[in-house]
Amino acid sequence: MSSIDAHCDSSIGGIKRILIAQRSDVTGVTLDSTTGIITAITMAQTKKFQQWLFRRNTGSYTSTATGDPTTGNNGVTTEVSLQFSKAEAQKRLEIQSVINADCVLIIEDMYGQFLYLGYDQEVTITNAVMQSGTAKTDLNGFTLTFTDESIELPYFVDGEIIDALVAE
């Protein structure tokens, strides 16, 4: 263990985008055990992560570690909440395909840092809502929750490897 320095810097919440792929398309993940940062991700030939974009202030993640002192078991649940405006057929098809798939996610936060979900096992959609809204200012679109069950908090990913992983 080592110390954590206190910072008085301001911080910005939220996430910019997610990158999503089928777990079976990821053939290797290299984790630097010293830094705890993923330094390489290998994909099956021709496979890439797909980029999902959404309106600002409509995406977030929360990682919660829990433990049971009687069994000595620990785990981390990470939930990613996303909102997509405008319910339309193309979005519905893509969301439905992910509901039926085992995925991995890379989250980009507002600082340009990347987190990998799906290291221990697949990430799944645990809640999907398609809604019309009632008032003119209500959401017409989709609200999704992805859930990752893991042994540890999500690993950071070296930002230098991201561009090569994403479909154009």
DSSP 30-81: EEETTTTEEEEEEE-TT--BEEEE--TTSEEEEEEEEEETTTTEEEEEEEEE
pTM: 0.90
Provide the token pair at 132.
């019309």
Whether 155 contacts 115, CB under 8 Å: yes
User: For 102-144, how does the pLDDT look when each residue is reduced to its tens digit (9 = 90+)?
Assistant: 999 999 999 999 999 999 999 999 999 999 989 999 999 999 9
User: For 52-70, how does the pLDDT look when each residue is reduced to its tens digit (9 = 90+)?
Assistant: 999 999 999 999 999 988 9
Provide the token pair at 55.
């309106």
